[in-house]
Amino acid sequence: MNILSKQHLCRLLSGAVAVLGLLTLASAQSNTKILIAHRGASAYAPEHTLAAYRLAIEQGADYVEQDLGVTRDGVLVCLHDDSLERTTNVREIFPGRFVDEQVNGRTRQRWRVRDLTLSEIKQLDAGSWFGSEFAGSQVPTWQEAIDLIRGSAGLFPELKSPDNYRSLGIDMPSLVIDLLRRNGLDIAGADDDTPVILQSFDNASLRRLADALPTLPRVFLIGTSDRPTLITDTRLREIATFATGIGPAKELLLAQPDLVRRAHALGLTVTPYTFRSSTSNSFESLEKEMRHFLFTLGVDALFTDNPDRFPRQP
């Protein structure tokens, strides 16, 4: 993927582009579509490890996603959950460091990222749960992820549960802003080989990012808890005041396929999630499912666990 193609979605999403809406519509009508590796190449390597990020690059990802959490000592790390027990051996290494929390009406023991320091988290094995060949893989810091990906693909970080951190006095948006500035990635076009697109379910965080980093694209994520009928033009116009694109769960687009057209009309790109070979649905294959979203519905990009199966052409 050449530099111009790799930057395509970033340019479309950038709030600094005055003709954003026209460019977005042109993208939807063209065959230039963008591949985002969801948690890395997470169908083939343990999610959010350097191995998964490295493989995503090898498989041609235009962007690599990082979910972000914050350690007890204020370091951004890459992990999907806000606790460590699903993807590490934290139960064995720190058996007494859990808290009891209610999850879906049940009490569960959880080892929260924010309760352990980076040094402690680095003692964990983040690969063996996926396969013995990945034993010893660590939870990477976001800086480590940036260092690995930079020059080879774009960054697509998600601020995970920033409201939870906010309630504890931890300012996640500020940590993200500061790290991007230290890396010289806080302005669109600062590094042609490593464009940055920010994402979150939290509109307050995206508003903060819009104020501090106005040229960087921002995607507002929309989950399945949102009924499709609630994604009205009025709501889309409100989203467009702080975001440059939407990232809906793919089920929302199947229920309301005109959402793509309506978002594009307001200058918003559309980047649905998540496409994976491990999920069964009415489509005959993962490739056919992705083609339907990309070339029939006209989305601009999509998140997939299987970067090697992304269809570049209809």
Angle between helices 172-182 and 142-149 (to 10 degrees): 40
**3-state DSSP assignment of residue 247:** strand
Buried b (16+ CB within 10 A) or exposed e, 155-169: bbbbbbbbebbeeee
Confidence bin at 170 (pLDDT 50/70/90)? very high
Does residue 22 register a pLDDT over 60?
Answer: no
Give the per-residue pLDDT at 30: 52
> Average pLDDT in the 174-199 region?
98
> Average pLDDT in the 2-13 region?
56
Q: What are phi and psi of 216, to 5 degrees?
A: -85, 135
Give the per-residue pLDDT at 114: 97
Task: Give the predicted TM-score (pTM) of the model.
Answer: 0.92
- Please tell me the distance from the alpha carbon of residue 235 to that of residue 220, in angstroms, as a whole number: 12
Give the per-residue pLDDT at 7: 58
Are 84 and 113 spatial neighbours (Cβ–Cβ below 8 Å)?
yes
Q: What would the pLDDT profile of 250-280 be if each residue is shown by its tens digit?
A: 999 999 999 999 999 999 999 999 999 998 8
- Please tell me the distance from the alpha carbon of residue 158 to that of residue 217, in angstroms, as a whole number: 12
Report which of 146, 263, 236 is spatially closest to residue 196, judged by C-alpha positions.
Answer: 146
Q: What would the pLDDT profile of 28-74 be if each residue is shown by its tens digit?
A: 445 689 999 999 999 999 999 999 999 999 999 999 999 999 999 99
Confidence bin at 20 (pLDDT 50/70/90)? very low
- Please tell me the distance from the alpha carbon of residue 274 to that of residue 276, in angstroms, as a whole number: 6
Are 151 and 3 spatial neighbours (Cβ–Cβ below 8 Å)?
no
Helix (H), strand (E) at residue 222: strand 218-222
Does residue 285 register a pLDDT over 80?
Answer: yes
Domains assigned to the chain: 3-81+139-309 (3.20.20.190)
Does residue 228 register a pLDDT over 80?
Answer: no
Confidence bin at 27 (pLDDT 50/70/90)? very low
- Please tell me the distance from the alpha carbon of residue 246 to that of residue 260, in angstroms, as a whole number: 9
Does residue 157 register a pLDDT over 90?
Answer: yes
Between the CA of residue 43 and those of 28, 70, 115, what are the distances in Å? Answer: 27, 25, 29
Confidence bin at 5 (pLDDT 50/70/90)? low
Q: What percent of the chain has pLDDT over 70?
A: 90
Report which of 52, 14, 67, 68 is spatially closest to residue 196, judged by C-alpha positions.
Answer: 14
Which positions are catalytic? 38, 80
Confidence bin at 229 (pLDDT 50/70/90)? confident
**Which tokens is 280 given?**
């069964």
Average pLDDT, the chain: 92
**Which tokens is 48 given?**
């959010």
Does residue 77 register a pLDDT over 50?
Answer: yes
